[in-house]
Structure 1
Amino acid sequence: MYTSKIIGLGKFVPEHVVTNEDLSKVMDTSDEWIQERTGIKERRHIKKGDGNSTAIMGLKAARLAIERAKIDKDDIELIVFATLSPDYYFPGCGVQIQKELDIKTCPALDVRNQCSGFVYGLSVADQFIKTGMYKNVLVIGSENHSGGLDMTNRSRHVSVIFGDGAGAAILGRSDDESGILSSHLHSEGEYIDELSLRGPSTEKWVPEIIAENSQEDIPYFPKMNGQVVFKHAVSRFSQVIEEGLKFNNLTKEDIDMFIPHQANLRISQFIQKKLGLKDDQVLNNIEKYGNTTAASIPIALTEAWEEGRIKKGDLVVMAAFGSGFTWGSVIIRW
């Protein structure tokens, strides 16, 4: 059995900054209200004409990760793309990346696990490397939320949360004791409707929606039961982190860097306090980018590495929770 490790990281966020004050001009909200409930000050949105999309942002992050990994793009043997906002209904973004990188025949697959997407994607890549099937795997998390948000009072409690961006990691075989120690994945479909976007879908195609011409209870904007999501998030975060630590005979005192999915600053602070971690042991950047779903962990991980906050030998814990409900953790010896 081989061990996989992250050998290259990259991120990309659009240049267009949308502040809380900007949102207060189009809906009944305020900077104070948003910061108090989410910790978010601003987020990045794709701007019409800037050439960005879910796949293109993922491509830009991937190219940087490949460069930093010091490998050739043709060394990539598998592409795993995590997103809830693909450019096309089908095919998925994975093959778009393959085309843009001009990689001829490597397999490409898409992971649709929303906020847990990158954690699930890392787990998939890790298994392929562990079994010896592939040596280098590209994992991407990318989201274009802004084009699908309802910027009216009807959805103000949801639309203020999300931002656009992408992060990428190259996984390769480890030649020492560093690398991914374990990953732990869960889901609980009982809560499928607490955080969801139901249409367009095969249940309700676009022509049907247009024909109805109704502005009531529009199904093609995200909806969220915030209280239920928060309650389950703080519980599942803690459980899946403890699961990972216990599996590796580690304790919370062994953690050097915790990188949570950037869902809500209050959730991250709750988990930080429960783990007894100092501020410099946690990477929070939700105040700058909002919730970028599958992109949030790779963006945060890249920033932690770029800022020199992760060094060789550190124990890095990543955890995510989101729609589905799905949740998971990855334990890494850097």
Structure 2
Amino acid sequence: MTCKIIGCGGYLPKKIVSNLDLESFVDTTDEWIKSRTGILQRHLAASDEYTSHLAFKAAEHALQDANLLPTDIDLIIVCTTTPDNSFPSTATKVQGYFALKNTPSFDLQAVCSGFIYGLQIADSLVASGKYNTILLICAEKMSSLLDWSDRSTCVLFGDGAGAVVLQRKSASDNRSLVVSPGTEMNSGIIDSQIYSDGSYGDLLYTDGGVSSNGQSGKIKMKGPALFKNAVEKMTDSVIEILVKNNLTIDDISYFIPHQANIRIIQSIVERLNINENKVIKTIAKHANCSASSIPLALSELKSSEALNEGDIILFTAFGAGLTWGSALYTW
């Protein structure tokens, strides 16, 4: 494929709400949340802190990491299910914060699978020859969709944003890296696959919308069925993309799954038989940040300086829609 990641950034709101804090106003306990989700805390945005603000701060960090200026960006994509407004798009608001003119910008809505969808779309747009450098941002203010009287959903989500700068690979980036006998990989995005199935739309949704009742609504979830589908679809997606690219799970250096529930992650890890040391987990500190969870985790991994040239990263995500998918990347 065409792109490589040249910069990563993340942003989490300052306010941290622990499980113990939730006990004061939600009918729940710290032990109940930890045992069922693996979550210890979440970050919540202030009332005057919008999704576009989170997106902008993550984007600033990604540009700094890439050593680029905003004017170097050809296109902005914001993956979000919690836009500031029905319109204009959150992406154009971010463009405005950067004081850019004429830079095309748009929102993408694939809920928790936004980063995988965004990678594939950004790579395709660069492959078209029209763009060289794309700012891909995932930003969510999930707290705006929570019903704090519903303990089955309100404890699961947090706010945050993650961003990557994607750039067209040069000739030197297309060097082959030997992964295993008979298998060579180029640096950058190796492959991505995305899916959806609207027949499962009632498993996770909001009970509102612009054209239905004029309200954003609150999150509604059928937990057991959602859990089953999440494990099955992410596992199947991972196996499919590995087989397609002549790789095994042992070839993977790091596995970054969507951070929705520690039990979902553990179930996938067991099915794939992947080394636990390769699995990146941020669920305890971040909760479920929807589309932002994977780029936030990637940003933390890069900041830890644990990534080495040639490392293969496997991403997988699953969200309402239902949407899901996986991607492979060589660092």
> Do the structures match in fold with TM over 0.5?
yes
CA-to-partner distance for each residue in 1:279-320, whole Å, 9 max, x for gaps? 320110100010000110100010111112321101100000
2:200 counterpart of 1:191: yes
2:27 counterpart of 1:22: no
2:45 counterpart of 1:46: yes
Match of 1:305 in 2: 302
1:164-203 aligned within 5 A: 164-175=159-170, 176=173, 177-203=186-212
1:277 to 274, 281, 293: 274
2:224 counterpart of 1:227: yes
What is the alpha-carbon distance in structure 1 between the residues aligned to residue 42 and residue 294 of structure 2? 15
CA-to-partner distance for each residue in 1:232-278, whole Å, 9 max, x for gaps? 01001111111211221111111110000101111111112222222
What is the alpha-carbon distance in structure 1 between the residues aligned to residue 284 and residue 33 of structure 2? 10
What is the alpha-carbon distance in structure 2 between the residues aligned to residue 166 and residue 160 of structure 1? 19
What is the alpha-carbon distance in structure 2 between the residues aligned to residue 116 and residue 302 of structure 1? 17
Secondary structure of the 1:192 match is helix
Match of 2:3 in 1: 4
Deviating above 4 A after TM superposition, structure 1's stretches of 4 or more consecutive aligned residues are none
Deviation at 1:231, TM superposition (A): 0.2
2:258 counterpart of 1:261: yes
Letter in 1 for 2:88: P
Deviation at 1:54, TM superposition (A): 0.5
What is the alpha-carbon distance in structure 2 between the residues aligned to residue 248 and residue 27 of structure 1? 46
The CA RMSD measured in Å over matched residues stands at 1.2
2:104 counterpart of 1:104: no
Match of 1:162 in 2: 157
Letter in 1 for 2:38: G
What is the alpha-carbon distance in structure 1 between the residues aligned to residue 75 and residue 237 of structure 2? 27
Deviation at 1:150, TM superposition (A): 1.2
| Equivalent residues of 1:184, 1:243 under 8 A apart | no
CA-to-partner distance for each residue in 1:101-124, whole Å, 9 max, x for gaps? 111111111111100011111111
Secondary structure of the 2:135 match is strand
Letter in 2 for 1:201: V
Secondary structure of the 2:293 match is helix
2:72 counterpart of 1:62: no
Unaligned runs of 5+ in 2: 174-185
Secondary structure of the 2:202 match is coil
What is the alpha-carbon distance in structure 2 between the residues aligned to residue 257 and residue 130 of structure 1? 26
